Amino acid sequence: MPAAMRQTTIIPRVRRLAAAAAALGSCLALAAPASTADAAPTDPVPTVFFGDSYTANYGIAPVNNPDQPKGWCFQATENYPAVAVRRLADKNITLNVQADVSCGGALIENFWRAQQLPFGAGTVPAQREAFKEDTRLAVGSLGGNTLGFTSILKQCSAKLRGGEGAVLPGQAVDEDSPAGECAAFFTTGDGKAWLDYKAEQVEYELTDMLDGMSSLSWDADRVLVGYPRLVPQDTAKCSTPAPGQSELPFADIPQDALPVLDQAQKRLDDVMKKAAADTGADFVDLYDHTAGNTACDGVNRGIGGLLEDSKVEFGPQALPWYAHPNEKGRDIQAQRTAAKIEEVLNR
């Protein structure tokens, strides 16, 4: 369904349903006794997890479906949705997971249309196909790939433009511009204009997606999960390798480009927060709560270094983390997401 048509058909229907619900709620408030606050749902909650590599938790092994094309999604068996489900079960909140369709490399547009897997491995269905009429909860992260964060990293790293970035999707924004000049590239001229355009695209597409979920599963609560912080405020911490590592956390990305990367991520976080607020969805703000667990925080890092070996192997070699959450980061994602889900279901 074209985006414009989804907007014009979905929004009036949602507003009518909201008005009817408000009127019914007023009547029930007069007729029914007050319910107990913070009462967890007694029945399993039909749930769909959606998203990209940060929901799939690329880099953590083992992965689901290793012998199938879907294995190229690099969805960890123990990704944060799986860990969050167990945390909630410990509190007697049961999620009936109808599907976890998170897949590395997913764009927001892959909510609506099939995603092409790398190396000609085939496709996975549009993530919307996992939604059912009785889905009550939708949780996940999308937006980083649509913003083009891997292209930003490749713009700033000569190593990622070469063989070490072969599995990382995307190309540099402008390969004719030297990686060492990427700070100036993204703060002036065409580079700045590109970032502005991508941020607007993310906001529009996220708003469209979150609104569209209400037409697929009209009773579903929607929880959009932000991205953990990659670069610390004190970028001097990034000039030292993590314990046991020889590469710097951000490899050959110039020191003056690190604040630019952080600003791009903060902008993405703000856009996601606004899209959630504008559509009545809930938002899990990880950026503001992971300032001490960035890629440059040594033993406390929740983000694997750009070229640090992850737990996933590709042939005889381990794939790099490419600045994705490690197990510590995954557990932070799970903890904060589970807390938000509990809050939503107890409303």
Give catalytic status of residue 289 as yes or no: no
187 closest CA partner among 88, 254, 273, 282: 254
Give catalytic status of residue 217 as yes or no: no
Task: Name the catalytic one among 145, 151, 217, 310.
Answer: 145
Task: Name the catalytic one among 51, 59, 104, 105.
Answer: 105
Task: Name the catalytic one among 148, 157, 310, 324.
Answer: 324
Cβ-based burial of 176 (10 A; exposed 0-12, middle 13-18, buried ≥19): exposed
Residue keyed to tokens 């690099």: 74
Give catalytic status of residue 324 as yes or no: yes
**Can you tell me the distance from the alpha carbon of 305 to that of 295, in angstroms, rounded to the nearest whole number?**
6
- Rounded to the nearest 10°, the torsion over CA 55, 58, 59, 60 is 50
Asked if omega into 69 is within 30° of 0 (cis), the reply is: no
Q: Which amino acid is at 34?
A: A
Task: Name the catalytic one among 51, 53, 104, 148.
Answer: 53
Cα dist from 72 to 65, 66, 69, 123, 303, whole Å: 9, 8, 6, 10, 21
Q: Are 49 and 101 in contact (CB under 8 A)?
A: yes
Give catalytic status of residue 105 as yes or no: yes
Q: Catalytic site residues?
A: 53, 105, 145, 324
